[in-house]
Amino acid sequence: MLVATFSLALLSVLPKVSGHSGELLQPLGDTPALTDTYFPAFWDPSMWGFNVTDKTYPYDNRPVVPIKNMNFQQWWFHGHLDHPPNAGDFFELPAGKPATAQIACNKGATDFFASSEGGDIRDPNNLDDVCPKSPTTAYHTNGFDDLEGCALAITYKSDVNQVKPEDFTVFSVNQTCVWTRHTEFQVPERMPACPDEGCICAFFWIHSVSRSSRPCLSNSNHTSHSPKVAAKRTT
């Protein structure tokens, strides 16, 4: 099994990325609607910036905030390099099997709601809702046939300070993402093992141009492979 630490700090492999229109979505129930100002993120304790709130920085720098017009230092890992995952927090990548990500517009819409400022906002009638109480346009699609897909990439460098955008290699793609909170990514059976300190992975998402301009965004986490996987790779 691969154990991954994902830095869910939003990073991008592009020198500049575009953002949103900031359109306000109307509530569909008692829970306030999330806004078009935010992107869905891949939430996991192994991410950089997992506990960053809108009060951590002088500006709102949560993982779901667009990185339009940010300089390199701000958009690389979403500026969360000083907020790494705790030691031992890894996201598991089971070789030859799917890894399940939790993608949402707010941490409160995931199983990690206990550490979210607003608590549990999951919809009990649809626990797979990416942006509860909001239409699909909240995550930039007009419907299932309007999805552009997501990808996971990996670098075998363990020291985040040594990682560069060009170090990441895509190893898994889901073409119907973002659509459900629980999203599966198939992990190749013969991926090489990570060093003992782990690898770093990134999550990439391209949203539909029908909703606004098309940015390519990502999050990063820390990952590692078990010796069993490494041995399998060398055969």
pLDDT of residue 192: 85
pLDDT of residue 31: 38
Query: What tens digit of pLDDT does each residue of 69-97 get?
Result: 788 888 889 889 999 999 888 888 888 99
pLDDT of residue 93: 87
| 9 — pLDDT class (breaks 50, 70, 90) | very low
**Average pLDDT of the segment spanning 101-127:** 93
pLDDT of residue 5: 47
Arithmetic mean of pLDDT over the chain: 74
Whether pLDDT at 25 is above 70? no
**Average pLDDT of the segment spanning 148-157:** 89
Query: What tens digit of pLDDT does each residue of 28-49 get?
Result: 333 334 444 467 889 999 999 9
Q: With pLDDT > 70 as the criterion, what percentage of the chain qualifies?
A: 68
Query: What tens digit of pLDDT does each residue of 161-208 get?
Result: 999 999 999 999 998 888 899 999 999 999 888 888 888 998 888 766
Q: Where are the domains of the chain?
A: 2-233
pLDDT of residue 7: 41
Q: What is the pTM of this model?
A: 0.76
Q: Which residues pair with 102 in a beta bridge?
A: 43, 182
Whether pLDDT at 15 is above 70? no
97 φ, ψ to 5°? -135, 170
| 215 — pLDDT class (breaks 50, 70, 90) | very low
pLDDT of residue 1: 53
Whether pLDDT at 104 is above 50? yes
| 17 — pLDDT class (breaks 50, 70, 90) | very low
pLDDT of residue 133: 85
